[in-house]
Structures are given as C-alpha cells and as structure tokens.
C-alpha cells in the first residue's frame, strides 16, 4: 500500500511537473526546476535562450548575476535552503549577449510527503520593459515639470539636454530644424553636459551637417550610429566633419516628422562607441515628440505674447503719428520706435529715383554702429538675390549675411563694412517702379521671427499710408505757400523798374523761399551755345556773375538734358549718371551738390536758364520743380517786357540824343505835312528856336520855289517811298546847296514822315578842291617823270663832265701866268657851272631821308639860281643876287632847301611873266637875321603882287590863283612845311608892290662858322702818300688821280675790279677810291674781297659814283657807311672827301 501510495505520489508529482513544464514552456518568462540543492534539472526555452553556455547551466550564478547583486543572491539562497520558504528578489542578470537586464526572480520549494524540499521551481520575469517604461515616464514627467512654464525654445532645449545627460549619460545633444519654413532656419542647438553652447553651430559647422542629412534620400540608416569610425565616410562628408570636430563616435539621430514631413531632429551623441538599447532609442523617440510639442507650444505662446506686444506697439505708434503732417517727422518717429521695439542696431528709410538710385533719407541707429544716412546705392550693389526680391516687391530677409549663400562675396563685404549682420527690408513698388524701402538691420546674425517680419510689414504699409497722407497734406500746404510766394513776388516786381531790378528781386526771393545756397540767371551768348551768368543771389558763396560756361564745361549728357527744354533736376552730383570726372570738378569747385535748372526756350532754342543750387544733396520735389518752372516762365515774360520797355525808352533816348546832337537838320512831320519835331540844328539853320517851328507848315517858312520842291518830296514820302533831292537855297543863303531827304514812318503814332537836310555847300567846295588836287597830282607825276628823266641824263653826263672839269682845273693851274690862263679859267668856270647843274638835277631827283649837315645858304641859293638862270633870261627877267658874305653855316638838308628856293623862284618867275611889263626883276637877298641866331633869304619880285583875299590862304594846300593846268596849289604849302621842319618859317611879307617871300632859318650854334674864302691846300709839308683809283673808264680814273696828285698823293690807276685786286694783293695804299658800278667785279664785290683778303686796308676805302639814285647803291652805302665822292669831281668836293677820310 505504501508502495502504491508512493508510486501514486510520484505519478502525481510527475504529472504536476508535466503540467508545470507545459505551462512554463509557454510563459514569456524564464522557468526552471532544480533539485533540492539547487542543481538545475530543467529550464524552459526562454531560459535556455538566455543562459545556455553560461555558468547558470552548472547552477553557478556567479557568471550571470551582476557583481553588485551576487552577494544578495547568495545570502538569500542560504536562507531559503535553511528555511525552505519561497522567496522573491530583483536581480540584474545577463545572458549570452552580456547585457544585464533587470529580472524579478521567485523560487518555490516542492516538498515530499515528509516535508523535505526535493525540488525548487523558479520563475524569472524580465523587468526591462517595465523599468524602461517607468524610466521614460519619469523622464517625461521631469521634462514636463521643468518645461511647462517655459516660452523660449532654447530654454526648453537646455532642459532636455540636462535630462538626457542625467538619464542616458550622454555628453552632447543637438537639435536642428529643417523643412520648408520661410526664412533662414535657426542655428542647430548644441548642449554639452546639459549646458547650451551658443557658438557651436559655427564652430562645428552643424548647420551644414544637418542640411546634409536632410538632403539624403534615405536618412533612416543614420538613426543609430554605434561607431562612426566603422562607417568609412569621406572626411569631407559634412556629417563626418562635424563629428570629427566635436570628437563624437556614436549617436542616436531621431527625426521629428509632422504631416509626413521631416521638420526637425534631435541627436544624442557619445564620445565613445556605444551599443544603444532599444529602451534608449525609444526614450529619444518619445522625448523628441514631446520636445517638438513643447517648442511649438512655447512658440505659439511667445507668438501670441509677441502679437499682443506688437499690437500694443502698433496702437501706440499709430497714436503718435496720427496728428503728424511732416513726412520727415513720421519717418523719424517710425524708425526710432521700431528700432527700440525690436532691439536692433539700425533702422533706415530709403527713397528711389527714376534711375533706380536709392538714397538713405532717414535713419535711427544705436551708438555702436556708424551712420549711413545720405548714402546712395543701386540695386546691383545689394546683391542679385536682393535685387530680384525687391523688384518683385517681396520682403527681403537675411538672418546671417556672413554665411548666406545667396549673397556674392563682394556684396557680403559691403554689408560688413556697413556693420550689417542681418536685415529685413520691405520694398514699396508702385506702378511697376521701386519707390522706397523700410529696412531693419542688426549688427550681428539674428533669426527674424515671423511676428517680427509681420510687424515690419504692417509698420511699412501703414508708414507709407501715413507718408502719402502727409505728403498730400504737405503738397497742399506747399502749394498754398508757393501761391502766396508768387502773389508776393508779383506785388514786389510790380513796384520794380528795369529788368535788372526785377531779376535781382526774383533771385533773392526764390533763394530765401527754397533755402537755396545760390540762384542765378544766365543767358545764351551770341554764338547760341555758351551760357553767361548775368545775375545771381548767393548766400555767402563766391559769385560767378559774368562767368561763361560752354556745353563741354557742363558735360555732354547734362548739356543734352538742358537742350531738351525740360527741367534738369540733379539730386546729387556725386551719384547722378550725367556727371563724370569731366564736369563734376567744376560743380564741386562752385560748392554745388544738387541743382535744379529750368531752360527757357524761344523758337526751339535756349535763350536763358534759371538755376537753383544747394551745397548738399537734395531730392527735388515736384512742387519745387513746378514752382521754379512757373517762376521761370513768368520771369522771362516780365523780363522780356521790361527789356522791351527799356529798349523803347532807350530808343526814345537815343532818338532824342540823335536829334539833339546830330550835326544835320532833322525833322518829323504829321500827315498834314506840319512839323511835329525838329532838332536844334534844323532850327538854327532857320534862325528859330525848335519850339517855334512845331505845327508850322513849310509853306510858311520857305520861298515858293523851295516850298514847292519840299512838298513834292513830302508827297513821295507819305506814299511809302524814300525821296531825296539837291536844292539850291540861294534865296536864303548865297551860294548854298542842301540835300533834302524824306522817308515814310509806319506804325502807331502821329509821325508819318521824317527827314534829313544836309548842307552840301562845303561838299560842293570840296569837290572843286578835289578836282584841283587831282590836277595837282597829275602835274606832280609829270614833274616826277621829268625829274627822273633829267636825273638819268645827268648821270650819263657825269663821266664825261668829270673829265672836262678835271682837265679844265689842271689846265688852269698849269697855264697860270701864261697866255692860256684866261681861256683855261673860262673853260673851268663853264665846267663848274655844268657840274653844279648836274648835281642840282640829281639832288632834285634823289629820294632819300633828310640828312642835316653844315650848309652854306649862299651856295644853295647860287645852285638854285644856276638852274633857273636860263629860264629867267628867256623870259626877260633880270636877276639881282644880293648875297651877304661870311654868313654862318646852318644845319640843314641842302636838297630840301634847294626845293624851297626853286619853288619861290619859279612862283616869282610865273608872276612876272603874267605882267608882260618892262623892267621885270627878281631879287635874291641873303643876310643875317635881326638876331645872330638866324639867317634870312628874301625872294622879291616886282610883279602884280598877291590880292588881299588870297594872302590869307596862300599857304593853304591846293589853293592857287593860277589858271587850270598851270598850278597845283601845293608848292607854297610844301615849302612852308619844309621850312618849319628846319625850325624856321616861310612868310609872305607886306609890300607896296610885287611880292616878297622871306625864308628865315636858325643858325646851328655848333656849326655856325662864317664862310670865308677857302685856302688852297698846301702839300709841301705833307709826306708823299699812295692812292689807288679804281674805275672802269681810265680817263675818269686819271681825272680823279690828277685832283689827288694836287692833294699830295702818288696815284696808281686800276681799270676795273680785277686789276684792283692784282695791285692790292701785294701793295699798300693810304687811300683806295673805287667806282661803285663797274662790269665784272664792282665796288661792293671789291669791298668784300678787301674785307676778306686785306682787312688792314678796309678803313682806307672810299667810293666814287654817279649813281646816287639806284636803290642797290643806296642800300650798300647805308650798310658800309664809307665816304662817297659824287661825280662829276670838283676840287672842293675832293678836298671834303679827303677830310672825311682823315687824309686832308
């Protein structure tokens, strides 16, 4: 029974174990059975999957239990065996994967009937999921508690980083946003040890790494990285580069996906390779969603707060500018408030002109940045991307200009120079053209929030509305102000007289009204191109009145703008495209920074310009342009009217001055032919006062014949033609003639004709005198021709006459005391007379400058008498020569004195011939004057004398009493002029009968030596000297040699220049006399030869010539200035020649 019972017990136990095993195989836990000592008897599949191959198979827990839990386990096992009670405990166990997991372990004893523990049945339940869930809940609660009240994304992320650092033990956490959010996404957030690292995005290039991950087609392979060294990524890979820079090896990259789009990512990173647990991955996954939700909540709350703040700002700002009517005040308030509200470094307002040039006209800035007020720029200078956005009217937003790929490097440099690190610009585009732009700038990178951008948009739009309202109001006020200005200007100029005064008032008023530096008015010069500044108003600047500027001075493009006739507005010469290096320096030198010029056109061309100038850039308003245009038109009209009035007044003044001062009689008549106006000359001619003649008809003034002729001329004038006629007025003035001319006068006014009356009396007399002068000129030309003929004949006589004179002198000397002496003397005297006559002819025909020399008046008188002696004898006129001996010499030109005396002799001869009476005489008398410093020549005739009325005019040019063809009326006038040129006078002396002309000449104190009988030269004491006489005719040379022999010379003769050169080549002479004109080698050639070959003899050379009329001979003698002996030779002339050579 006992056995059966035991068997049944065993069977039941076995059955129970089978049931347990069946149940245990299907439990999600580790089940095992051991004997009473703890040796493993059985384990379910879960147990074997966990512990096969470990010490647990041998019943040794030392290899699978966590070292910290092993003592607890062993202590508990001892108690369990001792007491046989079931126990449970939590242990960290590891299986074949070497990963410790938390297990809840429980062992239950199985006893036999005796109560002995024969088996231990155990269950170990894996608590990993439970603990992970608990841990996650703890993390989530901690995150919720710490981030619940936060509204700043960075603060929330810093909380997450701290929790992950505590719970996962990771040193780094990253958070970055991606996707299609407008604008530049914020920098990747980085925390190290749970603390935010602000500069990491730039230092580790995290933005690039995040962008690289987001750009990958399959980014799931980057979710978990246990060791990036095993990934074999390229070193230039953006993700690998950032990992290397941070020194990280492993990571969990958890994307945040919303609505099917990847919007952000959280990454936890470790610096060592790491096997991430599922629990850690799931924790990061769950936490990432919570973080996104928290950030979204915070942003929504912040956006709501910011919206409320912005709304409050908008309300306050609107209240502030609502009553403002000045555009500059609206801009200044807006920029200051907006800059302070957003906490930025600078806010600006820029306006754009028609050429696309922006100028910063308003600015608010923090002290840490420099001003850019007044700067100008074109769209191309802000970058192509900005240019495109502005043109399309889009908001331009840059969070970090230093790294934004949309900006070119050169543009980035410009922004850096202006201290712009981030900016938002809202452009205003109207009518397809940029008008202005509102810009908010910061001096460092900044992530612009959507609320901030929306606020800027709202402010910009409302500002433009306010500005437009203010501009409309300002335009209205300015229009009213301009109208008041024009009314005041009209009142002022109405009281001004003259264009200059009007222009001066206009320029001063306009400059004061517009606050200009300078205003000026210039007119086009006569050439139609240059501008001349006529008048200006300048506020302390140097004046440019009377300056002339050509189109090239203004520059080609600016000149073309002027030529269009439209207003030329230049807001800034430094940026205006019409200015360059050619014309900009001129405007700078004049202090002009901006200018408005209004060309004034007449007939399609510029006649004048009105210019307004500032010394600073100024954007000209349309109202200003219209004011200046209106004023320019009015000014030109007023000035033209003033000019017309001035010209009318000037013409009236000129007419009055002309009438009052004209040396001719002038008049104006009405339609009835009565005098409206006469000038003083007209009245004087009639012996009346001008006012006495007003309203008088010519019939009341003139004799019938003259009045009839004047009426005929008046009728022609009133018919519209000009008429004139010569009228004799002998009835009024004997032997008087006038020219009367009448012309029509058209237009308004009473005058219908005007006229001149010219006195022709003197003209008639002048015409008669002119006829006489022409006859005199004709006679003079005949005399000149005759003189030239006589001179030629005289020259031809010179050579043979020289031989005759020389031989006669020598014959006289040789026959002295003999029977032939008297005959020889007669021959010599006749020859001397011939020689004097020839020389007189030559002197008369010679044309040379007057030459003063010591002159014997008696000798000149005798020479003139010799010339006229034959004519006097033929006319039966006796000549008396009463010449005072030993008269002092005078300094005179003998040829001119000769002409005076010949004229007096000829006039006396002609007067005596006219009488036909017997006993006609001509007396030539010389004597000392009343004082010792003068000599007198009287030319006296006993002819008919000169009538008293002719005596007053006898010395007038062209006056003559002789019949036509017998006198010119110039002889006495010419002679008087020669006498006065010598310091003397020619007078007609009063006589009872006949005529007496007296020539008085001053004595030269330096040369007033009484003329005595020349002593014969004595040669006995002089040494014998050698002379060479050179002439192409031997007889002439021998004749001169004879005279020189008498003077104590031994003479050699050379026939021609060649012979002279032979003698001079080897001989020395004290005197060399050469003829000027010789065939072959002439005198000048020989002179040059001596100067070259025998310069020692050059001062001993003199010349003989009969050619005193030749121009070549005169030039040569003037050049060499050597003594000249004229042919025919006379003893005294030879002696004088030797004196000039210092050989007498």
- Cβ(593)–Cβ(376) under 8 Å? no
* Residue 1016 pLDDT: 44
* 3-state SS class at 1015: coil
Of the candidates 963, 914, 902, 923, the one whose C-alpha atom is nearest the C-alpha of residue 943 is: 914
Spatial distance between the Cα atoms of 257 and 420, rounded to a whole number of angstroms: 35
Contacts of 123 (CB under 8 A, 6+ apart): 24, 27, 29, 30, 31, 105, 106
Of the candidates 401, 367, 357, 407, the one whose C-alpha atom is nearest the C-alpha of residue 386 is: 407
Spatial distance between the Cα atoms of 1057 and 1074, rounded to a whole number of angstroms: 8
Domain with CATH 3.30.450.20 in the chain: 2-126, 662-760
pLDDT tens string 375-393:
888 776 776 766 676 677 7
* Residue 387 pLDDT: 67
Q: What is the DSSP letter of 370?
A: -
Assigned architecture for domain 783-1002: 2-Layer Sandwich (3.30)
pLDDT tens string 88-116:
888 888 888 788 888 888 989 988 888 88
The arithmetic mean of pLDDT across residues 251-266, rounded, is: 86
Of the candidates 311, 454, 440, 263, the one whose C-alpha atom is nearest the C-alpha of residue 365 is: 440
Assigned architecture for domain 1025-1140: 3-Layer(aba) Sandwich (3.40)
Of the candidates 56, 26, 57, 61, the one whose C-alpha atom is nearest the C-alpha of residue 44 is: 26
pLDDT tens string 914-938:
877 788 899 999 999 888 889 999 9
* 3-state SS class at 915: helix
Of the candidates 614, 608, 612, 613, the one whose C-alpha atom is nearest the C-alpha of residue 634 is: 608
Could you write out the three-class secondary structure of 761-826?
A: HHHHHHHHHHHHHHHHHHHHHHHHHHHHHHHHHHHHHHHHHHHHHHHHHHHHHHCCCCCCHHHHHH
* Residue 470 pLDDT: 83
- Cβ(667)–Cβ(682) under 8 Å? yes
Spatial distance between the Cα atoms of 405 and 412, rounded to a whole number of angstroms: 10
The arithmetic mean of pLDDT across residues 696-704, rounded, is: 88
* 3-state SS class at 196: strand
**Per-residue pLDDT for 312 more than 80?**
yes
- Comparing 794 with 1054, which gets the higher pLDDT? 1054
Provide DSSP, 932-963. TTEEEEEEEE-SS---HHHHTTTTSTT---SP
The arithmetic mean of pLDDT across residues 1057-1085, rounded, is: 90
Q: Is the N-terminal amide bond of 400 cis, ω within 30° of 0?
A: no
pLDDT tens string 1014-1036:
444 444 455 789 999 999 888 88
Lowest mean pLDDT among 155-159, 376-380, 503-507: 376-380
Identify the bridge partners of residue 396 per DSSP, sorted by sequence position: 425
* Residue 419 pLDDT: 94
Contacts of 326 (CB under 8 A, 6+ apart): 470, 474
Q: What is the pTM of this model?
A: 0.42
Domain with CATH 3.30.565.10 in the chain: 783-1002
Lowest mean pLDDT among 189-203, 769-783, 1066-1080: 769-783
* Residue 954 pLDDT: 73
**Which token pair is 594?**
């901006």
- Cβ(716)–Cβ(741) under 8 Å? no
**Per-residue pLDDT for 1 more than 70?**
no
Of the candidates 541, 656, 626, 662, the one whose C-alpha atom is nearest the C-alpha of residue 591 is: 541
Spatial distance between the Cα atoms of 392 and 736, rounded to a whole number of angstroms: 97
**Which token pair is 525?**
């010069």
Contacts of 41 (CB under 8 A, 6+ apart): 33, 34, 35, 119
Phi, psi of 222 (to 5 degrees): -100, 10
Domain with CATH 3.30.450.40 in the chain: 132-305, 323-477, 496-649
- Cβ(751)–Cβ(670) under 8 Å? yes
Q: Is the N-terminal amide bond of 932 cis, ω within 30° of 0?
A: no
Spatial distance between the Cα atoms of 960 and 375, rounded to a whole number of angstroms: 94
Instruction: Match 């405990």 to its residue by tokens.
Output: 89
- Comparing 551 with 842, which gets the higher pLDDT? 551
- Cβ(116)–Cβ(99) under 8 Å? no
- For all residues of the chain together, what is the average pLDDT? 82
Instruction: Match 């008023």 to its residue by tokens.
Output: 509
Percent of the chain scored above 90 by pLDDT?
17
pLDDT band at residue 1107 under the 50/70/90 scheme: low
pLDDT tens string 819-872:
677 777 677 666 666 666 666 555 555 545 556 778 888 888 888 888 788 788
Lowest mean pLDDT among 134-138, 241-245, 640-644, 889-893: 640-644
CATH class of the 132-305 domain in this structure: alpha beta
**Per-residue pLDDT for 790 more than 60?**
no
Q: Topology of 323-477 in CATH?
A: Beta-Lactamase (3.30.450)
Q: Topology of 2-126 in CATH?
A: Beta-Lactamase (3.30.450)
Assigned architecture for domain 662-760: 2-Layer Sandwich (3.30)
**Per-residue pLDDT for 658 more than 90?**
no
Per-residue CA distances from 147 to 161, 188, 298, 861 (Å): 12, 20, 9, 149
Beta strand spans in 499-604 (E): 518-524, 531-538, 548-549, 568-570, 594-602
Of the candidates 305, 217, 293, the one whose C-alpha atom is nearest the C-alpha of residue 258 is: 293
* Residue 561 pLDDT: 84
* Residue 233 pLDDT: 83
**Per-residue pLDDT for 58 more than 90?**
no
**Per-residue pLDDT for 490 more than 70?**
yes
pLDDT tens string 6-49:
566 667 666 766 776 677 777 778 888 888 888 888 888 888 88
* Residue 213 pLDDT: 81
Helices then strands (H, E): number in the chain? 32, 40
* Residue 343 pLDDT: 93
Percent of the chain scored above 70 by pLDDT?
86
Phi, psi of 903 (to 5 degrees): -60, -45
The arithmetic mean of pLDDT across residues 44-60, rounded, is: 81
**Per-residue pLDDT for 890 more than 80?**
yes
- Comparing 444 with 492, which gets the higher pLDDT? 444
Q: Where are the alpha helices (DSSP H) in 495-602?
A: 499-514, 551-554, 556-563, 584-589
Of the candidates 265, 199, 206, the one whose C-alpha atom is nearest the C-alpha of residue 238 is: 206
* Residue 907 pLDDT: 86
Identify the bridge partners of residue 532 per DSSP, sorted by sequence position: 523, 548
Lowest mean pLDDT among 99-103, 168-172, 457-461: 99-103
* 3-state SS class at 600: strand
Spatial distance between the Cα atoms of 314 and 245, rounded to a whole number of angstroms: 46
Q: Topology of 496-649 in CATH?
A: Beta-Lactamase (3.30.450)
- Cβ(171)–Cβ(250) under 8 Å? no
The arithmetic mean of pLDDT across residues 47-70, rounded, is: 83
């Amino acid at each position: 029974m006992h056995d059966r019972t035991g068997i049944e017990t065993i069977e039941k136990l076995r059955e129970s174990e089978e049931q347990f095993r069946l149940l245990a195989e299907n439990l999600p836990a580790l089940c095992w059975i051991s004997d009473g000592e703890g040796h493993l008897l059985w384990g379910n599949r879960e147990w074997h999957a966990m512990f096969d191959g470990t010490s647990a198979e041998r019943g040794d827990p030392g290899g699978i239990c966590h070292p910290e839990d092993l003592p607890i386990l062993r202590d508990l096992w001892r108690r369990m065996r001792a007491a046989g009670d079931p126990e449970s405990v939590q242990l960290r166990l590891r299986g074949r994967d070497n990963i410790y997991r938390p297990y809840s372990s429980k062992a239950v004893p199985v006893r036999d009937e005796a109560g002995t523990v024969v088996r231990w049945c155990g269950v170990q339940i894996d608590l990993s999921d439970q603990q992970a869930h608990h841990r996650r809940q703890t993390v989530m609660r901690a995150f919720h508690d710490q981030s619940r009240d936060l509204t700043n994304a960075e603060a929330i992320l810093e909380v997450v980083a701290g929790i992950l650092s505590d719970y996962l033990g990771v040193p780094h956490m990253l958070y970055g946003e991606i996707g299609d959010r407008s604008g530049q996404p914020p920098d990747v957030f980085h925390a190290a040890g749970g603390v935010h690292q602000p500069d990491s995005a730039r230092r580790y290039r995290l933005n690039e790494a995040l962008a690289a991950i987001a750009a990958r087609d399959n980014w799931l392979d980057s979710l978990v990285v246990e060791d990036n060294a095993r990934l074999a990524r390229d070193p230039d890979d953006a993700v690998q580069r950032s990992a290397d820079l941070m020194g990280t090896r492993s990571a969990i990259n958890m994307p945040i996906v919303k609505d099917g789009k990847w919007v952000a990512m959280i990454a936890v990173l470790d610096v060592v390779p790491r096997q991430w647990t599922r629990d850690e991955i799931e924790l990061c996954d769950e936490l990432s969603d919570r973080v996104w939700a928290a950030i979204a909540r915070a942003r929504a709350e912040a956006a709501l707060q910011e919206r409320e703040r912005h709304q409050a700002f908008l309300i306050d700002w609107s209240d502030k500018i609502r009553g403002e009517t000045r555009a500059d005040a609206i801009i200044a308030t807006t920029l200051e408030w907006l800059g302070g509200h957003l906490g930025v470094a600078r806010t600006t307002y820029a306006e754009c002109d028609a050429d696309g040039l922006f100028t910063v006209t308003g600015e608010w800035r923090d002290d840490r940045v420099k001003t850019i007020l007044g700067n100008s720029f074109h769209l191309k200078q802000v970058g192509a991307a900005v240019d495109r956005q502005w043109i399309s009217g889009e908001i331009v937003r840059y969070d970090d200009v230093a790294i934004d790929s949309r900006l070119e490097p050169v543009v980035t440099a410009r922004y850096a120079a202006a201290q712009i690190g981030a900016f938002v610009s809202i452009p205003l585009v109207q009518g397809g053209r940029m008008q202005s732009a509102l810009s908010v700038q910061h001096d460092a990178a900044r992530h612009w929030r959507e609320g901030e951008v929306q606020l800027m948009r709202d402010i910009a739009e409302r500002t433009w509305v306010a500005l437009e309202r203010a501009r409309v109001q300002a335009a209205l006020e300015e229009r009213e102000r301009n109208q008041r200005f024009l009314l005041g200007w009209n009142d002022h100029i109405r009281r001004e007289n003259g264009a200059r005064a009007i222009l001066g008032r206009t320029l001063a008023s306009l400059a004061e009204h517009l606050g200009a530096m300078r205003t000026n008015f210039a007119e086009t010069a006569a050439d139609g191109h240059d501008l001349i500044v006529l008048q200006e108003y300048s506020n302390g600047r140097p004046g440019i009145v009377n300056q002339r500027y050509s189109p090239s001075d203004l520059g080609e493009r600016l000149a073309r703008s002027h030529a269009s006739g439209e207003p030329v507005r230049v807001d800034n010469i430094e940026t205006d495209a019409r200015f360059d290096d050619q014309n900009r320096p001129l405007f700078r030198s004049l202090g002009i920074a901006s200018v408005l010029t209004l060309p004034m056109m007449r007939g399609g061309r510029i006649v004048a310009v009105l210019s307004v100038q500032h010394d600073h850039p100024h954007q000209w308003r349309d109202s200003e342009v219209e004011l200046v245009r209106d004023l320019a038109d009015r000014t030109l009209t007023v000035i033209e009217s003033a000019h017309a009035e001035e010209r009318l007044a000037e013409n009236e003044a000129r007419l009055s001055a002309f009438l009052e001062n004209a040396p001719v009689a002038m008049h104006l008549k009405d339609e009835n032919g009565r005098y409206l106006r006469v000038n003083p000359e007209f009245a004087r001619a009639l012996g009346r006062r001008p006012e006495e003649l007003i309203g008088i008809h010519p019939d009341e003034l003139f004799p019938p014949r003259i009045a009839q002729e004047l009426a005929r001329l008046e009728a022609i004038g009133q018919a519209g033609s000009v008429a004139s006629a010569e009228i004799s007025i002998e009835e009024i003035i004997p032997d008087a003639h006038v020219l009367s001319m009448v012309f029509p006068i058209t237009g308004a006014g009473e005058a219908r004709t005007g006229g001149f009356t010219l006195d022709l009396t003197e003209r008639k007399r002048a015409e008669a005198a002119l006829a006489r002068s022409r006859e005199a000129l004709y006679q003079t030309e005949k005399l000149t021709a005759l003189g030239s003929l006589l001179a030629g004949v005289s020259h031809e006589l010179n050579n043979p006459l020289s031989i005759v004179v020389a031989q006669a002198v020598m014959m006289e000397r040789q026959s002295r005391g003999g029977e032939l002496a008297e005959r020889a003397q007669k021959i010599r005297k006749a020859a001397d007379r011939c020689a004097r006559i020839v020389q007189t002819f030559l002197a008369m025909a010679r044309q040379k400058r007057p030459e003063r020399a010591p002159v014997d008046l008696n000798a000149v008188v005798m020479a003139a008498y010799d010339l006229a002696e034959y004519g006097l004898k033929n006319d039966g006129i006796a000549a008396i020569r009463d010449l005072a001996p030993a008269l002092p010499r005078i300094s005179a030109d003998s040829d001119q004195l000769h002409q005076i005396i010949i004229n007096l002799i000829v006039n006396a001869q002609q007067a005596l011939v006219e009488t036909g009476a017997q006993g006609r005489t001509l007396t030539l008398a010389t004597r000392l004057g009343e004082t010792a410093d003068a000599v007198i020549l009287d030319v006296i005739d006993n002819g008919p004398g000169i009538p008293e009325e002719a005596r007053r005019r006898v010395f007038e040019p062209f006056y003559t009493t002789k019949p036509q063809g017998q006198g010119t009326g110039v002889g006495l006038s010419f002679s008087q002029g020669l006498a006065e040129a010598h310091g003397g006078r020619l007078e007609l002396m009063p006589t009872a009968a006949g005529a007496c002309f007296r020539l008085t000449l001053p004595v030269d104190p330096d040369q007033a030596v009484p003329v005595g009988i020349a002593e014969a030269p004595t040669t006995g004491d002089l040494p014998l000297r050698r002379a060479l006489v050179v002439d192409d005719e031997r007889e002439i040379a021998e004749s001169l040699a004879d005279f020189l022999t008498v003077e104590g010379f031994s003479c050699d003769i050379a026939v021609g220049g060649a012979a002279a050169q032979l003698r001079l080549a080897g001989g020395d002479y004290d005197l060399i006399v050469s003829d000027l004109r010789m065939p072959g080698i002439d005198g000048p050639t020989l002179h040059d030869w001596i100067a070259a070959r025998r310069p020692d003899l050059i001062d001993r050379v003199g010349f003989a010539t009969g050619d005193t009329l030749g121009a070549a001979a005169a030039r040569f003698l003037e050049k060499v200035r050597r003594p000249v002996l004229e042919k025919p030779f006379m003893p005294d002339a030879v002696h004088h020649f030797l004196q000039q050579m210092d050989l007498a």
